[in-house]
Amino acid sequence: MRTGTFMIVLATALALTAIEVAAHGNHDTGSAVATPLPSKGFGLISPAEAAARVEVDERGGHRFIRADGLADHVTGQFPNRGNPNAIAAQSYSFRMPLKPARAQAPTFYPPRQLFGIAINGVAFDPNTAEFWNNDRGWMIEALSGVVPLGLDRNNAHVQPDGAYHYHAVPTGLVDRLQYRTRPAMIGWAADGFPIYAHVGYRDPRNPASGLVELRSGYRLRQGVREGGPGGRPDGTYARDYEHVVNGGDLDQCNGREGVTPEFPGGTYYYVVTPTFPFVPRCFVGTADASFTKAAPHGRGGPGGPGGPPGGRGGPPPGYPPPR
């Protein structure tokens, strides 16, 4: 990857250095596991029609990414019965540090914050604009299935402005990578740390330790919900979950320190998992403002720089606090 010059990459070739999912999917309500299903009649968009383009430049201590947001894999048909929006090209322009640093405390980000960008130029945007009784403290999980959002087999759907985006493991992208034989880098987070698929080394510091599916440390809360809709936590809402230290392989931001093929000396990296939180809900570093959307998820499209990302000191309403 050349520094100082934008590289135009057709994602069908996946030619970026260090980089190297299609029908309507289901909504799992109990275990909150994203399980792809075959097509249910919405039809398919062929790979030839999905011509993603990504431009990457590294200079001045930053990585700059421009993308049209079009997937390089087969997608579900949009509009569909759960999503009335058609996929449209975007004009993404993002910036992140080349050498990200961990902050003193994690940042749980609000709905208007994009988590990151995949290597094919599609955004990771796990939050929703659906809430119980319009109470923003009780954000409905996209993968819960309580509200039909028209997610496709890639755990993705479309914003009103046409922005196709991922809510969980981007199966069409991951299936094209060698994730069963090596950790697969699938994107960059807004704070500059890399994002990987859900398979990693058993020992994070030892590539010879073998590969395992990395487990999130989140679980459903016990007992009954405090306030709000009441009832027992079942995965309908983000705050139905809690993070348990040492309850899995990953921390509360769904990441860990370790070596990877792209970072043999080690790095912190995030993991997108098939169980909650799916896409991480907090940053260990400082998110660049270029990943802030102009309006909350579902009410407007991702834009360029906006206000500062969410504050520190704990999760805002609608997010599961650490246990």
Is 119 domain-assigned? yes
> Residue 302 contacts by C-beta under 8 Å, 6 or more apart in sequence?
90, 92, 114, 123, 125, 159, 161, 163, 165, 293, 294
Query: Which has the closest alpha carbon to 290: 62, 27, 14?
Result: 62
Is 6 domain-assigned? yes
Q: Are 165 and 117 in contact (CB under 8 A)?
A: no
Is 54 domain-assigned? yes
Q: Are 316 and 110 in contact (CB under 8 A)?
A: yes
What's the pLDDT at 160? 94
What's the pLDDT at 321? 43
| Range(s) of the domain holding residue 28 | 1-303
Is 313 domain-assigned? no
What's the pLDDT at 50? 59
What's the pLDDT at 111? 86
The CA distances from residue 210 to 172, 182, 204, in Å, are 24, 9, 10
Is 322 domain-assigned? no
Q: Are 131 and 238 in contact (CB under 8 A)?
A: no
DSSP β-bridge partners for residue 268: 257
What's the pLDDT at 242? 97
**Helix or strand run (H / E) with residue 166:** strand 164-166
Is 309 domain-assigned? no
How many domains does the chain fold into? 1
Instruction: Report how far Cα 84 is from the mean position of its chain's Cα atoms.
Output: 22
Write out the chain's pLDDT in tens, 323 residues: 443 333 433 333 343 333 332 222 222 222 233 333 222 333 355 554 555 689 999 999 999 999 999 999 999 999 999 999 999 999 999 999 999 999 999 999 988 899 999 999 999 999 998 999 989 889 999 999 999 999 999 999 999 999 999 999 999 999 999 899 999 999 999 999 999 999 999 999 999 999 999 999 999 999 999 999 999 999 999 999 999 999 999 999 999 999 999 999 999 999 999 999 999 999 999 999 999 987 544 333 333 333 223 333 344 444 444 44
Is 315 domain-assigned? no
Question: Strand order in 116-118's β-sheet?
Answer: 156-158, 164-166, 123-124, 116-118, 185-189, 194-196, 267-271, 255-258
Is 314 domain-assigned? no
